[in-house]
Structure 1
């Protein structure tokens, strides 16, 4: 080893990697660990090098390495979750007093990604019943059964199909892809009706949404408001208050706002606005005309949907224009703002009453 130097050592180390002789890689030639450090410094062997970092007591470095592997090199959810769990333990071991700001930021990032993975797992539970029974292949989902609500929007339907395919294969989605699946797939079950709340959870996970957060936030609310049957709600206008309240409480908007309020109270002890509803989200709920008056920045679509070609992006833009027209109709002819304000106030009053009863 000494005679031939690093050139020979790197070839030998690569051989150990390729033949899965990891014990030999990590323990042989202890007097030449400087060569092993140089070999690992290339960044191509993070799945192995973190073990060496642990042995050396460099827990923070091990945590960074594992987090990077989980976030950028891993495809399967299960592997990523395991790597992130070990990364979290390493981060805590390397920063027991929580005084290192960089280490704290890393820990926040790790916990955020674990939360996103857990939400993706909830989608898998929802779609398992749609697996292809004929072939027995779990990853073949009858996607058309899950996108009936957007059957007239083929570009958006393709986004959901692609996302559901990865979900069924237990492969990671980006935060943006997960939000698209949550807000575009059908909400036919009680659990799936909470998907818009889950989308807001993903949106609020620190550093999860990296591509145009404002556009993504507006897309969530556009899709939510177009999902409820506002004709049914408007038809209650001359009915009793109790009837109106009962129907309003069945809307996805009400259920989403209620879950936001509960989650915020559990986290901060305060009301719905503090955590899950940004200023923009609150403004949209109280005045949905903003979604019509303030047009989407379609110049950002290629950034928001990086896997789509120019033809699909044009289709997306056309379908978004149709959604804008539908929203405009709701605002103008269904007094949408009146109803969303009422539902928002009902949620606030309900949570206030519940808190008083608990006290």
Structure 2
């Protein structure tokens, strides 16, 4: 602590001692036993011609010792045979003493801030923790918080008359204000110190937690104005929002958005609605707030709300772009991806004025929808074998989908399944080094041959082609040609087929080589 602030602290303690002396006659039944406790703790010899008050006020710089003594005396009373009314009176008296002393000290500090300022010449400000807000077991901050909770738990539930109840809540406001003000002073002194970044973050987190714990009880007891006064002063946005929600005061919300515009209140409000599952409230915000909401919803994490907001604002192009981005990135649920892409296309059509980019987007959606259709057409028996729930399928990549159509588990596969696998080749990313396009293409044809391995390796009589017309391989060729494929470019290289690992169990069979060669010759001569 700087010398100037230390001098200020001594002056504050003198002010607190003066106020304590003024209150002495009113609260002598509490102050006198507390002073005696302090002197006993210090080891002072009483009865030396000086009164306990004389001895106590000699050490004004330790006037805060009285705080712990007051709470100890309070605990003694609560443990004794006293009525609830007596206990409430003692708690109220201690509150008044603490409040009076703290108020005098803080009022002096604030009024003399310029006189005791640290000065611009200091490049690093030492940590300033006011004596009214020291931490630790016997720290003033700790004791004030203890008194706050004692009032809340032991006095408020027992009080019967409205006037005393209001008085106690006002005491609690003063106690909470002292604690939070002390935190603010401490944080302000260290927040710009590069060597104390981590420590500053710890203190700020303690402050936020303390702020929540101190303001929350007022909200629970429906002391909305008192809760609001603290929440406004110390920028507890969550509490301000909860107050407005519980009281149904939307005008107050709008006032806070203006009052705390430079502190990010609107973004906090929107995030709070999202966290609490009240997205509908966002979409029903008044028109003046729509611009702020639109800015907030630009974040990717809020895309599922942004497109609804765009539709509400008739901005169909933005809705289309948002939905398209969501649809492209959806990998968990096929049905969800299908819905998002369909909505993206509808939004594009609603926009109407289709430029080249929009046309490209619609073409991309058509491709995505074709992939989705191919996945939806996977055989039911195959899905059951693979333990896949058809209604909750994840989104498969083109390669995964292709492999499923031709896998051994698809026992009922026909030429249509293999033709779908060939059609899916167009969706593979040939620039991806992990994908060997030609190897995948060859493996499709090899697997088609293996489906009828016995036919291909059996020595047939008569026309060789007639013996393999019923194979899936041959039927797939016919189906592809019927769909417009060029026969000469349909099949991979003959030697590549024979050297493919997939076909290795039968690739050396002379009958297979002969029949396969005949098919290739027929395909090359096909007109």
**Which residue does the alignment assign to 1:170?**
393
Q: What is the aligned counterpart of 2:469 among 224, 249, 259?
A: 249
TM-fit CA distance, 1:49? 0.7
**Which residue does the alignment assign to 1:199?**
421
1:55 aligns with 2:296: no
Q: What is the aligned counterpart of 1:272 among 482, 485, 508?
A: 485
2: CA distance between counterparts of 1:235 and 1:64? Answer: 58
Gaps of 5+ in 2: 1-256
TM-fit CA distance, 1:258? 2.8
Report the aligned-residue RMSD.
3.3
Q: Could you say if the C-alpha distance between residues 83 and 232 of structure 1 is closer, same or farther in structure 2, counting changes exceeding 3 Å? A: same
- For residues 27-106 of structure 1, what are the structure 2 equivalents within 5 Å? 27-96=284-353, 98=354, 100-106=355-361
2: CA distance between counterparts of 1:324 and 1:240? Answer: 24
Q: TM-score, normalised by structure 1?
A: 0.63
Q: What is the aligned counterpart of 1:110 among 359, 365, 389?
A: 365
- For residues 272-351 of structure 1, what are the structure 2 equivalents within 5 Å? 272-273=485-486, 282=490, 284=492, 287-291=493-497, 322-323=501-502, 325-326=504-505, 328-329=507-508, 334-335=513-514, 337-342=516-521, 344=523
TM-fit CA distance, 1:173? 0.7
Q: Could you say if the C-alpha distance between residues 21 and 170 of structure 1 is closer, same or farther in structure 2, counting changes exceeding 3 Å? A: same
TM-fit CA distance, 1:342? 4.9
Deviations 1:105-143 (A, max 9, x none): 111111111111111111153425x3xxxxxxxxxxx44
2: CA distance between counterparts of 1:333 and 1:236? Answer: 9
2: CA distance between counterparts of 1:339 and 1:61? Answer: 57
Q: TM-score, normalised by structure 2?
A: 0.45
1:224 aligns with 2:422: no
1: CA distance between counterparts of 2:429 and 2:379? Answer: 20
TM-fit CA distance, 1:212? 5.1
1: CA distance between counterparts of 2:509 and 2:364? Answer: 39
TM-fit CA distance, 1:89? 1.1
Q: Could you say if the C-alpha distance between residues 56 and 169 of structure 1 is closer, same or farther in structure 2, counting changes exceeding 3 Å? A: closer
The answer to whether the 8 Å contact 2:317/2:348 transfers is yes
Deviations 1:242-263 (A, max 9, x none): xx43x42322222322332333
The answer to whether the 8 Å contact 2:425/2:441 transfers is no
Q: Could you say if the C-alpha distance between residues 227 and 202 of structure 1 is closer, same or farther in structure 2, counting changes exceeding 3 Å? A: closer
Gaps of 5+ in 1: 131-141, 144-163, 264-270, 294-320, 350-359
Deviations 1:150-205 (A, max 9, x none): xxxxxxxxxxxxxx64767411111121112122244432x554222112222224
The answer to whether the 8 Å contact 1:50/1:65 transfers is yes
TM-fit CA distance, 1:44? 1.0
